Every structure is written in structure tokens, then in C-alpha cells.
Chain A
Amino acid sequence: MSPEVTGVVGIAVLLLMFLLGMPVAFAMALVGFAGFAYLTSPGAAFTILSHDIFTQFSSYPLSVIPMFILMGTFAYASGISRRLYGTAYNWVGQLRGGLTMATVLACSGFAAICGSTAATAATMGKIALPEMKRYNYDDTLATGTVAAAGTLGILIPPSTVLIVYGILTEESIGRLFVAGILPGILLSIFFVGTVFFICLRNPAAGPPGASVSWGERIKSLTGIIEAVVLFGLVIGGLFLGWFSPTQAGAIGAAGALVIGLARRELSWRSFFEAGKDGLTTSCMVIFIITGAIIFGHFMAVSRIPFVLVDWIGGLNLPSMAIIGIISFIFFIGGFFMDSMALIVLLIPIFYPVLIKLGVDLIWFGVIVVLLAEMGVITPPVGVNVFIIKGIAPDVPIEKIFKGIFPFLVGLILCVIILMIFPQIATFLPSFATY
């Protein structure tokens, strides 16, 4: 078999392993190892197997991952998410659909200190869904909003998906983070707008909450100070070149811990639970990256990415059409795979194509994240939907998917706008010093 055919067979076997339920990280390592052994020699494959595990597990650039994950888990344990929701509730809760708008705003705020969609959806779901139930909000609107707004977790920095993308494409994580800010704000506005239009058409879907005095509203702003300070310190420090990404993450984790201690919210139990949660999530992500690196060696010797570059080059299509095709592949892939798995599988394959086309990889990173966001709320592998189902077991899963659909339109609109106006993503990074 030629290297190219071996590569295609390898990808097919990998997808089969995924479908049979093998963990993504193990499947990539196994197929990558076997394919590399077949195309080079078993001796060389044995060497890369242990070498890659040792070097990736001990990689200093990868230490940014546990630090930002830990920052998110400590922020949750410190009660920051609850206070963010409380502030948003006081400001917009009395409007029609106000509680769902508050949920979107609180998700945006929590996304600014947590880099995971699942964590954002789970955290806000636990806080917001009982409140919306209390005010007789329509289950479809309530659950759909939390699942969709949870996706902001990987767009608004810090973002685990952008970190992994940055590592795979060797782009600056600081610049990627900053690139996510304006699209994140734009998407938050779209989501709030979506809620507004739903409640305009069906006022019973989101009845107004209790009215709050201006004094209480202003007083409640103290609830967002810590999140703003933490975000400003971490992302601002990164933006200005004060910290490396790992340092920024460690400062963020320590900062969230200090907030929890100062607020007397953090018990030993919640501290260790947050630590365990951060550890196992980090372990999962670093295993996936290691698997992707091993699989990447196989892809390199199979020459698939380079053949793909030549083939696409021969198509004589405009760059935008090729980017559109690649984006569509990410979009379709998102239906069947987790966002992280999708990125570690597809980026090494399409990376040479993107380089050849001269694509701005910072901008494309934001597009990829938006496409990955769609994946976490669409069937059959909509992670956020299953999380919300776990929090609201009485709501049928079809109802949650139905509730998500209007927000999906907002996400697609956001991708189209970013394709037409890439400056929305590239403007802020042009000022970044890191």
C-alpha cells in the first residue's frame, strides 16, 4: 500500500474506533502508532510512543491547560458564577424574558474566567434553571438558552479549545484569546436578541421577574467586580505581555482561590473537589493532545496533508470557497464529534492547506471555535444538551434541542459576519504584544 492509501485507511480505522466507543485519545494514539509502524518501522514507532508521552506530559507550553482549567474550577467553587447571575438578574430580570437574558449575560461573564462550554453550561444551568422554573418560564426557552449560552465558554477567553488550537497551529495563545473577545460579545448580543424576539412573539415563554430598585441594582454590581478584576488581570496581563500563558493561568487560578478564601466560600471539601475536577479534565485534554501528536506523526509520513494541499491547489477555486468547504467539514464533523476531538483530528490535516492559502490562523481559530460551538449543541453528540438534561431530567431532550434551534441561527449568522468582516476577530490581536 502506498503511504497515501495507508493514511486514508488509517483515518477510516480511526473513525471506526471512535464509533465503536474507544476514547478519542487512545484511538488516535493506537492508530497513529500502528500506521507509523507500518510506514516506517516498528522500532521507530516504539520510540515515538514513549518519547511523545514523556515529552507531551512534561511539556511546559502545555502547562497552560491545567492552569486555565483550574482557574475555572476554582472560580466556580468560589461562588463567582452565582454572584454574576445575581447581578445580571437584578439588572434585566424584570424584563420580558429577562431571566434568560440574565442567563446569557452571566454565561458571558463566567466564560471570561472559565474556558469550558460544559463547565459554563453546568454551572449556569444549576443556578438559572430553578429560577426560571419558579417564574414559569417555558422549558424549551429556558433549557435551550442555557445550553446555547454555555457555548460562550470556549469563545470568550480563556478558552481550552483556543489553547489546543494555538498549540497545534503554533499561534500565540494570547493573541487567540484576545481575538475571541469581540466575536464573544457579538454572539452574546445575538443570543440576547434571540431571547428578545422569542419573547416578543410568545410573551408567555418568558414572563418578567420581580422588579428590583435602582439602589439594589447598583449595589449588586459588587458581584461582578471580582470577575472583572480576575479577567482584567489574566487577559490584560497576557495582552500587555506581562505574563506568559502559563503564568497568566496560574495567576488566575491563584486569584480565584484567593477570592474564594476572602469571601469565605471555599471549604476544604470544595477546594479538593475543584482540584480533582481540574486535574481529571486536564488529564483528559493532555491525553487527547498526546494522542493527536502521535497520530500527527502518522499523518506526516502518510503525506496525506501534503497531497491534500496539492489537490486543493489544482482545483483552481477561490480561497474563500476552499475555506468554506473546510468550515463545512468542521460543521458536519461537529455533529458527530466533541469539539476538542474535532480540532485535534482536523487541524493537523488541514493546517498545510490553510498555510498554503495564506489564511489568518488567528481569525480561522475563532471561526473553528464557533463551528465547534455548534457541535456541542446539535444532535447526536450535543454535550451541553446532555448536561442540561442531567440538570433538568423532567424536560424531554427533544424539547432542549428545539429550544437550541433559534440560537443556532445566531451562531450561523455570527460565522457569516466573521467571514465577511474578519476584522472583528483580527482587530484586537493587532494590538497584542504577546
Chain B
Amino acid sequence: MLEKFEKFNQRISGWFEWVGIAGLLLIVVITGVDVIGAKLFTWRLFGAIDIVMLSQLTAIAFAAAMTLIIGRHIQIEFIVERLPQRAQAVIDSIVLLLELGLFFLIIWRLCVLGYSFQTTGESSGTIYMPLYPFAYGVALASVLVFLVLLSRFLSSLAKAVKR
């Protein structure tokens, strides 16, 4: 069951990662076109900065789950690694529970932020793109991070309570 849950998270994270890559490449293209236009033809791409900012927001948020899955985040492991396996599992469970709490708050507050953007009609500075879909998007991407953490928490808990 837990294995299926992990596979589900990996598959969705893989799809989200493609969204992230598209966002990142869009930044390269938009910035490149803007620079070439400005330097060679005295022409600026209208809204380039807005697009770059929102693409980056999307790219980073949608890459978060995969970054976690492949262990890219910096963490200090040399102390916990030296402990017996059960102790490691107990510590991991506590740490993951705290991380779950953090991401629960993040998802909730991003939904609140998105709603406030929606009701006040907040938009980007130049091309007036509404910001609320992006706040909801980051919240959605954070849900996947929450699920990855949950699967790890359940796995650690199972190791901790195993006789």
C-alpha cells in the first residue's frame, strides 16, 4: 500500500517536474529575446519581467516535490546516520511530522493568499496577469510535497514501531 502511495507521488512529481522545466526554459527564451531585442533593435519585450517572475514561481513550486524525492535538499546526516536504525526511524518520524506541520500551514496560508488575490483583483505590474491562479498553483504543488512527506513519515513510523 505504502509502495503504491510512493509510486503515485513519484509519477505526479515527474509530471510536475516537466511543468517546472517548461517554466525554466521559458525564462531563458523570454530573457534572451528581451536582451537581443533591447541590444540589437532597441525593442523590449513587453511584460518580460512579469513573465520571468511568474515562470520562476511556477518552476520552483512545481519542482519542489521532485527535489525532495531525489534528496537534493541540503541536510546534515552524519549524526543521525551513526545511530541504531530504530533510533533513526524515531528521529525521522519526529522531524517529518514537524515538516508535515510546516507544509500544512504553507498550503493553508497560500490558499488564503490566493483567495485574497482573487477578491482584491491583484495582478502583475506590467501585463496585469491575475496572481490568484499562481498562488493556488503553488498551494497545489505544496500539496504534493505534503504527500511525499506523508509517505516518508508513514514509512519511518512503520520502521519505528516494528518489533
Query: Whole-angstrom distance between the alpha carbons of A242 and B68 in the complex?
Result: 37
* A interface secondary structure, majority: helix
Do the beta carbons of A272 and B21 come within 8 Å of each other? yes
Using Cβ atoms and an 8 Å threshold, which residues of chain B touch A19?
A: 76, 79-80
Query: Whole-angstrom distance between the alpha carbons of A59 and B17 in the complex?
Result: 20
**Does chain A have a CB within 8 A of B144?**
no
Which residue in A63, A66, A336 is a CB contact (below 8 Å) of B53?
A: A63
Do the beta carbons of B21 and A23 come within 8 Å of each other? no
Do the beta carbons of B56 and A30 come within 8 Å of each other? no
Using Cβ atoms and an 8 Å threshold, which residues of chain A touch B74?
A: 23-25, 284, 288, 338, 340-341
Stretch at the interface among A132-140, A197-205, A244-252: A244-252
Stretch at the interface among A48-56, A299-307, A311-319, A414-422: A48-56
Q: Which residue of B lies closest to A23 (CB)?
A: B73
> Interface readout for B115-157 with A: 1 if CB under 8 Å, 0 if not?
0000000000000000000110010000000000000000000
Do the beta carbons of B32 and A254 come within 8 Å of each other? yes
Using Cβ atoms and an 8 Å threshold, which residues of chain B touch A387?
A: none
Supposing A29-B102, A63-B53, A287-B73 touch, asked if A250 and B35 sit within 8 A by C-beta, the answer is yes
Query: Whole-angstrom distance between the alpha carbons of A59 and B60 in the complex?
Result: 11
Chain B nearest CB, measured from A332 CB (Å) = 15
Q: Which residue of B lies closest to A380 (CB)?
A: B78
Within 8 A of B (CB), among A19-73: 19-26, 29-30, 33, 46-47, 49-51, 53-54, 57-60, 62-63, 66-67, 70
Using Cβ atoms and an 8 Å threshold, which residues of chain A touch B99?
A: 22-23, 26, 30
Supposing A60-B53, A276-B21 touch, asked if A51 and B113 sit within 8 A by C-beta, the answer is yes
Do the beta carbons of B32 and A250 come within 8 Å of each other? yes
Using Cβ atoms and an 8 Å threshold, which residues of chain A touch B95?
A: 17, 20-22
Interface size class of A (residues with CB under 8 A): 35 or more
Within 8 A of A (CB), among B55-98: 56-57, 59-61, 63-64, 66-68, 70, 72-80, 91-92, 94-95, 98
Q: Could you show 11 A-B contacts with beta carbons less than 8 Å apart? A: A19-B80, A20-B94, A21-B77, A49-B106, A243-B35, A251-B31, A280-B66, A282-B24, A283-B72, A287-B73, A337-B76
**Does chain B have a CB within 8 A of A326?**
no
Chain B nearest CB, measured from A336 CB (Å) = 7
Do the beta carbons of B35 and A66 come within 8 Å of each other? no
Supposing A19-B76, A23-B73, A49-B109 touch, asked if A250 and B39 sit within 8 A by C-beta, the answer is no
Do the beta carbons of A53 and B98 come within 8 Å of each other? no
> Interface residues of B, CB < 8 Å — how many?
53
Chain B nearest CB, measured from A52 CB (Å) = 10
**Does chain A have a CB within 8 A of B12?**
no
Query: Whole-angstrom distance between the alpha carbons of A51 and B25 in the complex?
Result: 25
Query: Whole-angstrom distance between the alpha carbons of A30 and B149 in the complex?
Result: 15
Query: Whole-angstrom distance between the alpha carbons of A283 and B70 in the complex?
Result: 12
Do the beta carbons of A21 and B56 come within 8 Å of each other? no
Which residue in A18, A243, A284 is a CB contact (below 8 Å) of B72?
A: A284
Q: Which residue of A lies closest to B149 (CB)?
A: A26
Using Cβ atoms and an 8 Å threshold, which residues of chain B touch A221?
A: none
Which residue in B32, B39, B110 is a CB contact (below 8 Å) of A242?
A: B39
Do the beta carbons of A67 and B27 come within 8 Å of each other? yes
Do the beta carbons of B91 and A21 come within 8 Å of each other? yes
Do the beta carbons of A21 and B138 come within 8 Å of each other? no
Query: Whole-angstrom distance between the alpha carbons of A134 and B37 in the complex?
Result: 50
**Does chain A have a CB within 8 A of B112?**
yes
Supposing A24-B75, A275-B24 touch, asked if A280 and B67 sit within 8 A by C-beta, the answer is yes
Query: Whole-angstrom distance between the alpha carbons of A19 and B76 in the complex?
Result: 6
Within 8 A of A (CB), among B1-27: 17, 20-21, 24-25, 27
Using Cβ atoms and an 8 Å threshold, which residues of chain B touch A95?
A: none
